Amino acid sequence: MDRITEQRSSLAVLLIPLKKYVQARNAGQLIRQGQYERRPKATDKYAGVIEEAVDKSKAKVRAKAIHVRLVALGYNGSIRSTRRAVAAAKVAWRKANESYF
């Protein structure tokens, strides 16, 4: 096979997947990549405990303290997952409890 034929075949391989997106776009449809169901997080089962602790402390509680409580309840996720969940709960609490002067 000569070089030009190789380039054409490799180009064809690259263009085949694009063809369906171009056809869908021309038909007025939208194909999105990467839309998958969200995998459940380790903290999902303990969201109530996290929200309760954040609410009681008025968003002052630290993630480490909540993590210790969660481990006592059987949580086996990482401290990093706990920190993310606590941060999100604090943002939600602050947004819900904004005061306007």
Banded pLDDT at 66 (limits 50, 70, 90): very high
Distance, CA of 2 to chain centre: 47
User: When comparing pLDDT for 26 and 82, which is higher?
Assistant: 82
pLDDT in tens, 76-97: 999 999 999 999 999 999 999 9
Mean pLDDT of the chain: 85
Long-range contacts of 57-63 (CB under 8 A, 24+ apart): 58/93, 58/97, 59/90, 59/93, 59/94, 59/97, 61/86, 62/86, 63/87
List the one residue out of 57, 54, 58 whose CA is nearest residue 82. Answer: 54
Strand segments (E) across the chain: none
The pLDDT of residue 41 is above 70? yes
